[in-house]
Amino acid sequence: MTVSEQGQTMTPVDTVETGEAGPGPSWRAGIRRAIRMGSRPGPWKRGPVLAALALLLGLLMLLHAEIPNRIGNLGSLVETFLPWFGLFVPVLLAGALWRRSASGVAALLLPVLVWLNLFGGLLGDRSHPGGDLTVVSHNVGAENPDPSGTVRDLIASGADVLALEELSEQARGTYERGLAEAYPHHTVQGTVGLWSRLPLSDVRPVDIKTDVGPLGATKPADVKLHDNRALRATVATERGPLAVYVAHLGSVRVNPRAGFWTTHRDRGAQALAEAVAAEKNERVVLLGDLNGTGDDRAFAGITARLRSAQREAGDGFGFSWPAAFPMARIDQILVRGVKPRSSWVLPATGSDHLPVAARISW
């Protein structure tokens, strides 16, 4: 308000009430809110990228066998760590909930169902009591700082048949002397060995070597590649003969030029599959470090003839490598003609692998 020179009070023209109804500030704000709400996408239209990623994850797991190996063995690399792809589900779920995306949540049903179909059966305990024979396989590690301690741990496992891989020349004597009393029967062929409480016969090496170098190049014939890495023996049990194979397939590498290099391992797996296919004994057990999981297509020739003790009678995934934080089951116990009753992973030794064990019955 203003005061005139005569002391009269005057009201500004722009604040005079006219009595006419007009759009006030609150009415205009309501209109703006309505416009914003009308332009905002609904919950089914939010998060299209999250929904697409969820569908892509499901298809990746569902069609993993169709991923080609021509480019850096990408298919085998995905299959090696296939169970871990399930960890992307809670990440995408958190993103969908944050965006309030109904389509993102719905799309996650595909990877969840696919993962459960592939690995849901491994979540529970599938073991059963009983069994006639306990078998143990362990890559003892060429750089194991305490082979004597590893010997004590292996004896304590109660194994009837014990397979060791990656035996170095320096540590071989320690294992032979330390295990002699508990296991009177044994054989060592190159870098693999078999110790048994029961008599052994028909012992022979199995040739799984290859002349392919780490980048796929053929090495000269006069270059020595590896010692023998596999053997076959017959164990005389009260129920009859049991053919036992011990194998340590070639290592795999991730190389900038070759990608996921598995050439040596894959050729060894093929040779091992042929040996198992030619085996006449009805009862067979394969023990060893195969440097790959049962989901890897490279082992199709082996898994078509032998069953995994861990998948049939294990508790959980049974990851065995690396010992500090196991991420993959690359140490295997595979059987034919006998029934796995239980399968488990033993505590860590001085090796970078964990020992694996199984109880089998006729």
Q: Whole-model pTM?
A: 0.84
Question: Is 70 exceeded by the pLDDT of residue 15?
Answer: no
| 220 is a domain residue | yes
Domain of 161: which CATH number? 3.60.10.10
Is there a single domain that holds both residue 239 and residue 96?
no
| 38 is a domain residue | no
Is there a single domain that holds both residue 278 and residue 325?
yes
Strand 356-361: give its sheet, edge to edge.
185-189, 192-196, 161-165, 133-139, 356-361, 339-345
Q: Residue 23: what pLDDT?
A: 52
Is there a single domain that holds both residue 165 and residue 251?
yes
Residue 193 is given by DSSP the state E
Question: Is 50 exceeded by the pLDDT of residue 13?
Answer: no
Is there a single domain that holds both residue 275 and residue 201?
yes
Q: Could you give the CA distance from residue 165 to residue 220 in angstroms, rounded to a whole number? A: 27
Domain boundary (72, 96, 122) is at 122
Q: Residue 300: what pLDDT?
A: 96
| 111 is a domain residue | yes
Is there a single domain that holds both residue 207 and residue 115?
no
| 19 is a domain residue | no
Q: Residue 219: what pLDDT?
A: 38
Is there a single domain that holds both residue 169 and residue 315?
yes
Domain boundary (122, 154, 175) is at 122
| 318 is a domain residue | yes
Is there a single domain that holds both residue 227 and residue 283?
yes
Question: Is 50 exceeded by the pLDDT of residue 175?
Answer: yes
What's the mean pLDDT in 302-323?
Answer: 97
Q: Residue 215: what pLDDT?
A: 39
Give the pLDDT confidence of 222-274 residue by residue, as tens digits: 333 347 999 999 999 999 999 999 999 999 988 877 789 999 999 999 999 99
What's the mean pLDDT in 40-53?
Answer: 86
What's the mean pLDDT in 290-309?
Answer: 97
Closest CA to 163 of 20, 26, 315, 353: 353
Going from the C-alpha of 36 to that of each of 25, 27, 98, 229, the distances in angstroms are 17, 15, 20, 70
- 234 Cβ contact list (under 8 Å, min separation 6): 200, 201, 202, 203, 241, 242, 243, 244, 281
| 235 is a domain residue | yes
Q: Could you give the CA distance from residue 1 to residue 14 in angstroms, rounded to a whole number? A: 11
Domain boundary (122, 142, 171) is at 122
Strand partners, 245: 232, 286
Is there a single domain that holds both residue 138 and residue 109?
no
Q: Could you give the CA distance from residue 178 to residue 237 in angstroms, rounded to a whole number? A: 24
Is there a single domain that holds both residue 183 and residue 148?
yes
Strand partners, 360: 133, 340
Q: What is the mean pLDDT of the chain?
A: 89
Is there a single domain that holds both residue 229 and residue 113?
no
247 is in which domain, residue-wise? 133-361
Is there a single domain that holds both residue 203 and residue 256?
yes
**E runs forming strands in the chain:** 2-3, 9-10, 133-139, 161-165, 185-189, 192-196, 200-205, 230-237, 240-248, 253-255, 259-261, 284-289, 307-308, 331-336, 339-345, 356-361
| 43 is a domain residue | no
Closest CA to 59 of 114, 102, 105, 119: 114
What is the number of domains present in the chain? 2
CB 312 within 8 A of CB 340: yes
Q: How confident is the model at residue 107 (pLDDT cuts 50, 70, 90)?
A: very high
| 25 is a domain residue | no
Q: Residue 7: what pLDDT?
A: 47
Is there a single domain that holds both residue 112 and residue 148?
no
Give the pLDDT confidence of 254-268 residue by residue, as tens digits: 887 778 999 999 999
